[in-house]
A and B are shown apart, each in its own frame.
Chain A
Amino acid sequence: MAEPHLEPPEDDYVLLGRIRTGDAAALGVLYDRHGPVAYTLAKALTGSGATAEEIVCDAFAHVWQSSATFDVQRGSPVAWLLTITRSRALDWRRKHNRQTHLLEKAASAAPDGWALPVSSPGDAPDRSAEKMETRRLVRSSLDELPEAQRRVIELAYFGGLTQTEIAAELDQPLGTVKTRMRSGMSKLRDSLRFLFAPPEP
C-alpha cells in the first residue's frame, strides 16, 4: 500500500512549470540560482565578460521561449541551461576562430588542476553551503583524475573537440583518447554520482 508522503524539493522543475505559464518572476528566481554558474561557464569558454553576458542573455531567452520543449528525461533544468550556454559559447568560439589560442592555454595548464583557474569558494557569488560543497567535490574529483584523462576531458569540454580532433591535437592514437575519455568520465561519475542522482519519477 502506498503511504501518502511528501516529495523532496523539486524547485527547478516547479520554476520551469511557472515559466511555461509566462511567469517572469520565476525566470528571475531561476537566474538568481543558476545565472552565476552559466555566466562563469560562458566567460571561461569565451574569455570575454561582454560575450558571456550576450550568451547568458540568449540562453535565458531560450529557456523563456522554449520551456515547453524541455524534456525531463534528458536531465535537470540546470543541465539544460548549461547545455544551451556551453553550446552557444562553443559556437561563438568556432565563429571567432578562438580555438587555437584557448587550446594552447588548456594544453599548457598546470598539471594539478582544471586547465582554467580553479574555483576559490571565497569569491563565489553564490555562497550557499550546498553550492560550495558542490564546488569542493567537483574540484577534488578533478584533482584525483590522472592528468592524461583530465586533459582529454578538458579538451572536449572547453574546446568542444571530438575524439578524433583531440587525438590530432595531442598526437595520440584515437583508441587511447577514447579509453581516456571513457575512464575519466566514468571515474567522475562514480565520485560525483550522489550529487546528481535524479529524482525518481
Chain B
Amino acid sequence: MTGENEQSLAAAYALDVLEESEKAAFEQRLAASPALQQEVRELAGVVELLAYGIETATPPPALRTRILAAAGEERRAPHPAPAAVPPPRARYLPWVAAAAAIILSLGMGLAFWYERADREALETAFQAASADRLVRDARLAAQDSVLAAVLGAGVRTAGLAAPGEAPAARVYLNAERQMLVLAAHSLPPAPPGRTYQLWGLLPQGEAVSLGIFDTQPGTGQSVITFHLPAGVLPGATAVTEEPEGGSSRPTSEPRLSGQFGAD
C-alpha cells in the first residue's frame, strides 16, 4: 500500500511536474517499492490517455513524408565511430531480423538454410522481403507475437535435432518476455493418439514441461509460442513423444534435443 503523500507525489511524477528537489528522493523510493512502481505505471497510463481528450487536429500529409525522409537520411548518413558504447543489439539484430523475415515471409523450410548462410546473404534476403509484406504480416497478431519474441533483446536460439541428424526444428528463447518460440520445419506429426511435448532442461538436470504441440500433416511445419513458467530458464530443450494430453514427466527418450548457444 502507498500512503496519501506518496500517491500525491506519484501523480505529480506521472504528470512529469514533480519539483526537481523532490524527484531524486521519489525515484529512490520508487526503485525500492513494487507497489509504488505499479501505481506510477497506472498513473502514467492515465497521462497517456489524456491526450485523447483533446479535440483532434489533423496533421498535414507532408509531415509523414518529412519524418520518413529524415529517418532515411539519417540511415544513409555514414555513422562516425562513436566514442560511447555502441548499441548492444547492433551486432546481431540484423541476423535476428533476417531470421524473423524468413520465418514470416518465406516459410519454415528455410529455417535450416540460414544456419549455413553468411550474414550478407541473410541481409539480402531481409531486404528482398518487401516492407509492405512485412507490414501486412505484422498485423497478424500471432505472427506479431512470434516476431516480438524472436526480435527481443538477448534472444538465444538452438537447433533441435535427433542424434546425428540435421535439425528438424529451431527454438528461440526470449528470457525477458519469458517466451519460447518453436519453429518446426521438418517434423512429421505425432502418430494418432500421441503428441509431442516440449521440455525445458534445467542446469540441475530437471525436465520441466513447457507444453504439448503437434505439426501440420504433409509439411511437418509449425510455429508455436510457449510461455516459460516463472523462474524457469532452460539451458537446453528436448522434444519427446507422449500419450495424448501430455505427461507430467518424460516417458520416452527425446526425439529431438538441442542446447542454447551464447548468441
Contact with A along B72-106 (1 / 0, CB 8 A): 10110000000000011100011001000000000
Q: Are B211 and A8 in contact (CB under 8 A)?
A: no
On whether A39 and B59 interact (CB within 8 A), knowing A10-B145, A138-B50, A196-B42, the answer reads yes
Q: Is the interface of A mostly helix, strand, loop or mixed?
A: helix
Is the CB of A57 closer than 8 A to any CB of chain B? yes
Tell me the minimal C-beta distance from A73 to chain B in angstroms: 8
Q: Is the interface of B mostly helix, strand, loop or mixed?
A: helix
Q: Are B141 and A6 in contact (CB under 8 A)?
A: yes
Contact with B along A27-54 (1 / 0, CB 8 A): 1110110011111110110000100110
Is the CB of A182 closer than 8 A to any CB of chain B? yes
On whether A79 and B55 interact (CB within 8 A), knowing A1-B246, A14-B138, A179-B8, the answer reads no
Closest chain A residue, CB of each to CB of B58:
A125
Interface residues of A in 61-84 (CB under 8 A from B): 61, 64-65, 68, 73-76, 78-79, 82-83
Tell me the minimal C-beta distance from A39 to chain B in angstroms: 4
Is the CB of B202 closer than 8 A to any CB of chain A? no
Is the CB of A102 closer than 8 A to any CB of chain B? no
Contact with B along A153-169 (1 / 0, CB 8 A): 10011001111100000
Is the CB of A87 closer than 8 A to any CB of chain B? yes
Tell me the minimal C-beta distance from A57 to chain B in angstroms: 6
Closest chain B residue, CB of each to CB of A39:
B59
| Distance A139 CA – B52 CA, assembled complex (angstroms) | 8
Selecting from B15-23, B165-173, B184-192, the interface stretch reads B15-23
| Distance A160 CA – B18 CA, assembled complex (angstroms) | 10
Interface centre among B47, B178, B228 (most CB of A within 10 A): B47
Is the CB of A109 closer than 8 A to any CB of chain B? no
> Which of B52, B54, B71, B147 contacts A134, CB < 8 Å?
B52
Q: Which residues of B contact A61 (CB under 8 A)?
A: 67, 70-71, 74
Q: What is the interface size of chain A, counting residues whose CB is below 8 A from a CB of the partner?
A: 96
Q: Which residues of A contact B148 (CB under 8 A)?
A: 7, 10, 13-14, 17
Is the CB of A108 closer than 8 A to any CB of chain B? no
On whether A28 and B68 interact (CB within 8 A), knowing A119-B52, A138-B52, the answer reads yes
Q: Which residues of A contact B233 (CB under 8 A)?
A: none
Is the CB of B35 closer than 8 A to any CB of chain A? no
Is the CB of B116 closer than 8 A to any CB of chain A? no
Q: Are B64 and A49 in contact (CB under 8 A)?
A: no
Closest chain B residue, CB of each to CB of A118:
B55
| Distance A41 CA – B139 CA, assembled complex (angstroms) | 26
Tell me the minimal C-beta distance from A110 to chain B in angstroms: 13
Q: Which residues of A contact B1 (CB under 8 A)?
A: none
Q: Are B47 and A198 in contact (CB under 8 A)?
A: no
Give the 6 A-B residue pairs with the shortest CB-CB distance, closest first: A196-B45, A25-B131, A7-B145, A17-B151, A9-B141, A39-B59
